[in-house]
A = this chain, B = another copy of it.
Amino acid sequence: MSKEKETFNVPKEKRFSEWYNRIIREADLIDDRYNVKGFIVHKPWSMIAFKEIYRLYEEALERRGHKPVLFPTVIPEENLRKEEEHLEGFRAEVFWITHAADRRLDKRLALRPTSETAFYQMYALWIRSFADLPLKLYQSCTVFRYETKATKPLLRGREFLWIEAHDAFPSQEEAMNQVKEDMEIAEEVLHGKLGIPFIFFQRPQWDKFKGAVNTYAADCLMPDGNLNQIASTHYLGENFARAFGIQFLDRDGKRKYVHQTCYGPGIWRIMAALISIHGDDNGLIFPFSIAPVQVVIVPIPATDNETSEKVKALCLEVASRLKENKLRVEVDLSEKTPGAKYYYWEMRGVPLRIEIGSLEVKGGYITLFRRDTRTRRRVPLEQIEAEVEKEGKAILENLKERAERWLLQSFREAKNLDDLKKALEDRPSIVKAPFCSIDMDGKACAERIREAAGAEVRGVRYGIEEKPESDASCIVCGRKAKVFVYVAMAY
């Protein structure tokens, strides 16, 4: 469709911002020339992968008892007003529908920035007794936020793709178990199937979701040293249940408020993470399972026509065999040179390439090229399906290991503010430091860190017990350090 350059070579780690801005356009993932600021077009090269990521996540949610729903895109203003802190949090970000045709609407409608206030009025109707609990529903959709910060495709936009799961339980204990399950799902899908390692934090009180008791979030590390929040889960306590009147009759005959959680895997940011973390100086590298094209087949023309025809026939035969195995396969029969085709598909991140020329036809094998290791090997014709499957898994394992190694290398420790500043200069770095508190009384210290080092206190690790020595003191205020926090740059 558009004329791609034949070569792409940008040092990803040294010039990440340039790398990112170029590759999302040159690999044809998105087009941001749409004439409304912050709204982009998702092109097939991203959309096919998005559909696969949704499929993986939805399958993991459904296997754990979540069911799909779809709520309206619009939320009346009165709903948003029911939970005060929540309204406060989103007031500056809401798009308002005020008219239809030539008429002014009776009540303004918000484009959903998130759907708590749409779901929970219905939960109040649906939930009657303990037998209706737990209630675990999710929807896959886009949401809308009037961002005033600079927008960046797949990282910050005014309309973006996500999933939101809204769960209700009879007790706090069961709700907190859901937080653990949400973390498990992230582990299974993001780390296990997409090869993105992450750290699961409990966020400081000053950085939680508006309306929540606590926020827990998965952060991955981007090549420029910024943490990227790719999923978050919020324990809402009874806050929204009280605002919306969601009560159930318990086994003991008493009416009680439900305890709620909501979970938001950020599908956009997951895409941004996987292209940034797995890609290299020559472009994208997709994990095999979600690649828009999983195997590209490139014919190497022979000097005589007869052999060229045989080459082409074998290419088509191999393609049709792989398609029968439900793989996404493309045979590149364009008039470009084989070298130009290699560059093109490597830049776009196709994980496996099959090269077939006269030698392959004569020898009864194909040449299999791996995008991640840039290595070639011969595979006998009869083993193609098995070897493609094996290499597909091997690519994921390799990407995952590389990403883990890189994340682990970035951990630093700091005993005082100077340490911290130095550690943060040596990017990418995530710095562990003793800290007074992630309750509101620690907020001033976090602000000092932001001013001194331009970095954020991302919270304490969740699911891993880490306690400072009893005589340790906060690196900022010197008070007793109750926790270890992690400090890093963040989007």
Residues of A participating in the B interface, judged by any CB pair closer than 8 Å: 1-3, 31, 33-36, 39-44, 47-48, 50-51, 67-74, 76, 78-79, 91-101, 109, 111, 118, 121-122, 125-128, 132, 135, 137, 142, 144, 146, 159, 161
Contacts and interface: CB of A to CB of B under 8 A. Distances in A.
Contact of A35 (B31, B121, B137): B121
Identical copies of this chain, number: 2
A36 B109 contact: yes
Contacts of A95: 97, 99-100, 109
Residue of A100, A109, A135, A137 with most partner-chain B CB within 10 A: A100
Nearest to A101: B92
Contact of A73 (B47, B78, B92, B142): B142
Residue of A2, A47, A127 with most partner-chain B CB within 10 A: A47
A100 B146 contact: yes
Nearest to A37: B106
Nearest to A48: B68
Contacts of A161: 70
A298 to B, nearest CB: 19
Given A2-B126, A96-B97, 13 more contacts: A1-B132, A34-B122, A36-B109, A39-B72, A41-B71, A42-B69, A44-B68, A50-B70, A73-B73, A95-B97, A95-B100, A96-B100, A98-B99
A47 B61 CA distance: 15
A159 B94 CA distance: 19
Contacts of A159: 72-74
A70 B96 contact: no
Residue of A74, A78, A121, A132 with most partner-chain B CB within 10 A: A74
Contact of A67 (B39, B47, B137, B142): B47
A144 B41 CA distance: 19
A135 B67 contact: no
A68 B47 contact: yes
B72 A36 contact: yes
Contacts of A3: 128
A44 B146 contact: no
A144 B36 contact: no
Nearest to A50: B70
Contacts of A41: 69-72, 122
A471 to B, nearest CB: 48
Given A1-B132, A41-B122, A137-B44, A34 B72 contact: yes
A72 B40 contact: yes
30 contacts: A1-B127, A1-B132, A31-B126, A33-B125, A34-B118, A34-B121, A35-B121, A36-B72, A36-B109, A39-B74, A40-B72, A41-B71, A41-B72, A41-B122, A42-B69, A42-B70, A44-B69, A47-B69, A47-B70, A48-B67, A50-B70, A51-B68, A72-B159, A73-B144, A94-B101, A95-B109, A97-B97, A97-B98, A97-B111, A98-B98
Contacts of A39: 72, 74
Contacts of A34: 71-72, 118, 121-122
Contacts of A76: 35-36
Residue of A48, A70, A94 with most partner-chain B CB within 10 A: A70
A100 B44 CA distance: 30
A111 B96 CA distance: 11
A159 B141 CA distance: 14
A70 to B, nearest CB: 4
Nearest to A35: B76
A30 to B, nearest CB: 10
Contacts of A73: 73, 111, 142, 144, 159
A188 to B, nearest CB: 18
